[in-house]
Structure 1
Amino acid sequence: MNRRDAIFTSGLALTALALMPETIFAADGKVSAFAKKLKPIGRRLEMDGYYVWCNSPIEGPDGKIHMFFSRWVASKKMGGWINGSEICHAVADHPEAEFVFKDVILAPRGPGYWDATTCHNPSIKMMDGKYCLFFMGNSNGKTNTKRIGLATATSLDGPWTRPDAPLLEAGPTGAWDDHCTTNPAFIKHPNGEYWLFYKSWNTAEYENSKDPVVKGNRKYGLAIAKTLEGPYVKYEGNPVIDFSSRLNNAQLEDAFVWMDKGHLHMLCRDMGIFNHEYGLLMDSKNGIKWDEPQIAYYDAAHYNIVQPPPPSYLKKYGRFERPQLLFQNGKPTYLYTASQGGKYMTSSSFLFKIS
């Protein structure tokens, strides 16, 4: 790679990194080796009266699997995530076991708070001796006040310290990211910096979009901090992932980022590269320039998953969203996703084993 590709603003720079591990990406066209390792296990966290979404797992010191997930009441239908979601905690004895609901840990706080109307997009990490729950909140039940926040606790059972202000604000009017900050994806880099990838888009594009499928064009930016709590400084070359020059208003969302052997990997949901049903997997040597997307996982039909016909109100039936990995002994062992349907015809977690 060109040395200049690794140069960041404000004196930030990356060291040359190792070659990509063959176990993640393969020289096999558009299909990743990761996709070939997935075995569908089935649904988990089906809750009567609720939609379940955004399933983020972590193995606790008790050896059990702790799940942090979003839910909202079924009467709000699928759109309830934007104006009534709460973040909850459940526990299972092992990755394939049924989860037992424990409690609600973050709920909308009401007027006057930045997370007044929803708490969503949980992503749990163990960092610097404490548990870090990155999430999204909003204050008006709409997308234009979505902001990323960070709650922390010394135990997976809480109590959780909730922030009085968002971790990352949207950009100024007219910027590519002036609409919101959402879908947090976080790593602590080996150089000691804290890297926060975030999704956003431009308000004017969103409001004036003529796309019949998706308004605007979702892109990913990067913000970097010297401490966990920030401040997070946006990379001046943002967005670092931008598919807007491709046909069919191609874009992405729901990123999950991890590092292995000096390379960054990103799992996310496809929104027009291949279709709107698959997952994407990308690799980067420096977090700025990302390789061409490969297929990370497929839709339910590909895996011959038998489901009853969907009701008319489920418009995303058969696809898997919000990919999040479970790590055990430093290796990804299971992929948890969110999928519409299930025995209550709302939504639930759907689990894949990584063989």
Structure 2
Amino acid sequence: MNLPYYLACVLVAVLSAAAAADEKTLIDYFRPMPIQGKLTSKVWGASGVLPRDPQNGLDDPEMSSWSYWDGQLIKSPDGRFHMFASRWDQALGHHGWTRSMAVRAVSDSPVGPYTDQGLCWPSDQGGKGHNVTALKLPDGRCAVVVSETRPGDVFVADSPEGPWSHLGRLQVAEGEHSDLGRMSNVSIMHRPDGRFMVIARSGAIWISDSGILGPYTVQGPSIYPTVKGLPLRDLEDPVIWHSGGLYHVVVNGWSTRKAYHLTSPDGVNDWTFRGLAYDPTTDFLRHTNGTVNHWYKIERPGVLIEDGHVTHFSFSVLDAPKDDDRRDDAHGSKVIVVPFDGEALDRDLQARAATPNSTVQRP
């Protein structure tokens, strides 16, 4: 074997793979949505979201009862998928979200259709809950966390089916940056090192060494201004996870309607801008037959992780500006689920890290 030639070929292959990975951002890893029912225009929605599949995600196709929002997914040991979402009376229009209730929905497929199983805790403030998110705890239980309309309330159950009991509220320790501990848009995860970590609307990282309730220590000011290249306008709805040896955040800019991807080696320091995560004006929401939907608003991202990689994103979507979603009209909101090649994302980011001259993506 000509060893120098072989090594040169390997080096070229590695550099070529890194260069290809360098050109991609998170939006490039979304996969086509399988059609669970059929595409139809006989449902609510503006022209940009028709025809669509009402059996994708969680939907009230006739908009006769509920507007849906949030939508974090958990897979149970029996192979079923549980979506934790919020809903409110569609007659209130989009601004009825302040009266939203936490619900669970179930499906045999990660993309749906999800069937609404009703309120998670009907006897606790009538089921009140918004900014609904969920996670599995290290002891095998499940937890649901709600914020914005409730101050970081945590409910636990032995299984996703419930019954749910109120464990308490997230607590933030007093300190230099504790004013960044407002309970809004809370995203929570259990870190590989056993600690719990939160990022909320402020963009500050909170960490607890004492279990899910905390107290959480705010690690410093918002990470967003420290990330070179990140647009800073009107950021909200961050979601945080760990995969491929990195901590990831996707954060949405509500006024620009674009979201961005950040990574960090330890979840606290050295956050790096990885570029565009999603943009409703692009064609990334594509069905397997090529039909594309353009939702006006795509917010509240959530991730489903299987075997260490993200396999699906969930999104709250709205077909029109929020002020245009009124009582008994043709507009509304639902939760969609989009397949995602997280294994490829993690592989490409590792290849990029192994190449000293790789570049960071711009929006």
TM normalised by structure 1 equals: 0.70
Task: Please tell me whether residue 267 in structure 1 is matched to residue 250 in structure 2.
Answer: yes
Q: Which of 32, 37, 40 does residue 29 from structure 2 map onto?
A: 37
Aligned to 1:91: 106
What is the CA deviation profile of residues 227-267 of structure 1, one whole-angstrom value per residue up to 9, with x for unaligned ones? 32433232352223347999986142111111123310112
Pair 1:299-2:280 in alignment = yes
**Contact 2:173–2:216 under 8 Å retained in 1:** no
Which deviates more, 324-333 or 231-240? 231-240
The separation in 2 between residues aligned to 1:347 and 1:246, in whole angstroms, is 31
Q: Deviations over 1:168-224 (max 9, x none)?
A: 35989997537x32112222222222112222xxxxxxxxxxxxxxxxxxx311222
Residue identity opposite 1:93 in structure 2: D
Residue 66 of structure 1: CA displacement?
A: 0.8
1:185 aligns to what? 187
- Letter aligned with residue 279 of structure 1: A
Residue 67 (str. 1) matches residue 83 (str. 2): yes
More helix by share: 2
SS at match of 1:81: helix
Q: Does 1:56 align with 2:51?
A: no
Q: Which moved more, 1:283-292 or 1:222-231?
A: 222-231
Structure 1 match to 2:359:
none
* 1:126 and 2:111 are equivalent in the alignment: no
Matches within 5 A, 1:172-251: 177=180, 180-199=182-201, 219-242=202-225, 250-251=233-234
The alignment partner of 1:119 has SS state of coil
SS in structure 2 at match of 1:91: strand
What secondary structure does 2:77 align onto?
Answer: coil
The reply on whether 1:328 has 2:306 as its aligned counterpart is yes
Q: Unpaired runs of 5+ in structure 2?
A: 1-16, 34-52, 285-290, 321-328, 342-363
Find the aligned partners of 1:137 and 1:106 in 2 and give their Cα distance: 17
Q: Which residue of 1 aligns with 2:264?
A: 284
Q: Structure 1: which 5+ residue stretches go unaligned?
A: 1-21, 111-115, 139-145, 200-218, 308-316
Map of 1:207 onto structure 2: none
1:326 deviates by 1.5
**Is this contact kept in 2: 1:147–1:169, CA < 8 A?**
no
Identity %, equivalent residues: 19
**Shift in alpha-carbon separation, 1:62–1:95, aligned structure 2, 3 A:** same
Report what 2:169 is aligned to. 166
Contact 1:85 1:118 in 2 (8 A): yes
Greater relative CO (CA pairs within 8 A, separation 6+): 2
Alpha-carbon RMSD: 3.3
Distance 1:301 1:175 in 2: 38
Larger Rg computed on CA atoms: 2
Asked if structure 2 preserves the Cα contact closer than 8 Å seen for 1:183 and 1:198, the reply is: yes
The amino acid of 1:134's aligned partner reads V
Of the three residues 19, 22, 26, the one matched with 1:27 is 22
Paired AA for residue 143 in structure 2: C
Q: How many residues align?
A: 284
Partner in structure 2 of residue 318 of structure 1: 296
Larger strand percent: 1
Distance 2:230 2:281 in 1: 25
After superposition, the Cα gap between the structure-2 partners of 1:300 and 1:353, relative to the gap in structure 1 and judged at 3 Å, is: farther
Q: How far apart are the structure 1 equivalents of 2:209 and 2:177? A: 28
Letter in 1 for 2:253: D
